[in-house]
Amino acid sequence: MAKKKKIREDFDVIFQSGNEKAIKKMLDKYPWLLDEVSTEMNDVIEEQQQIIAALGVMEDERGGPVPIDEIAFSLRVDFNIRRVEDEVIQLLNATETLGLVKKDPNGWKLTSEGGKVCDDYLNRTLGKITLS
C-alpha cells in the first residue's frame, strides 16, 4: 500500500510538470493510475457542473449576475449540496478559465457555453433532484 502512495505522489509531481513523455511513461508502467486520474477528473467536472447549474438557476431567478452567497444557497436548497463560499469561489475560478462563467462586478454569470452545460446538467439530473 505504501508503494502505491509513493507512486501516486511521484505521478502528481510529473503530472503537474506537464511533461507528456514522463506522464505517458508512468501510465504505461502503472496503468491503474489512469483509472484513478479519470475518477478524480470526473469528480471535479461533476462539482463544476453543480456550481454551473446553481448559478444558472439563480441567474434565471434574479435576471442577472449572482453573488457567491446566493450560489451557495441554491446549491444547498435546490441541490442539497453543502459548500462553503470559499469552495464555491475556487470552483467558479476554475470554471472561469474554461470560459463557462464570467466574473461581474455584481457577482457571477454564465457564458453561452456555460448555459449549455447548465441545461445539459439540469436535464440529466432533473429526475434525481427536486427544485424548490
Q: What is the CATH number of the domain that holds 91?
A: 1.10.10.10
pLDDT band (50, 70, 90) for residue 126: confident
Q: How far apart are CA 93 and CA 15, in angstroms?
A: 21
**49 and 109 housed in the same domain:** yes
Domain assignment of residue 112, yes or no? yes
Question: Residue 128 above 80 pLDDT?
Answer: no
Same domain, 110 and 61: yes
126 versus 28: the higher-pLDDT residue is: 28
Task: Decide: 91 and 98 in contact? Cβ < 8 Å.
Answer: no
83 and 119 part of one domain: yes
Same domain, 6 and 57: no
Is the domain of 104 the same as that of 55? yes
Q: Does 76 share its domain with 26? A: no
Range of the domain at 11: 1-30
Q: Are strands 107-110 and 101-104 parallel, antiparallel or unpaired?
A: antiparallel
Nearest alpha-carbon partner for 68 in 79, 81, 78, 54? 54
pLDDT of residue 35: 79
Q: Cell numbers for 3, please give them.
A: 508503494
Residue 35 lies in a domain: no
Q: Do residues 23 and 48 share a domain?
A: no
Note the pTM of the prediction, 2 decimals. 0.72
Q: Is residue 120 part of a domain?
A: yes
The answer to the question of residue 38 being in a domain is no
Same domain, 105 and 56: yes
d(CA 113, CA 98): 10
Contact by Cβ (8 Å): 30, 4: no
Is residue 51 within 8 Å of 88, Cβ to Cβ? yes
Q: How confident is the model at residue 67 (pLDDT cuts 50, 70, 90)?
A: very high
The rounded distance, in Å, linking the Cα atoms of 95 and 106 is 18
Look at the chain and report how many structural domains it folds into.
2
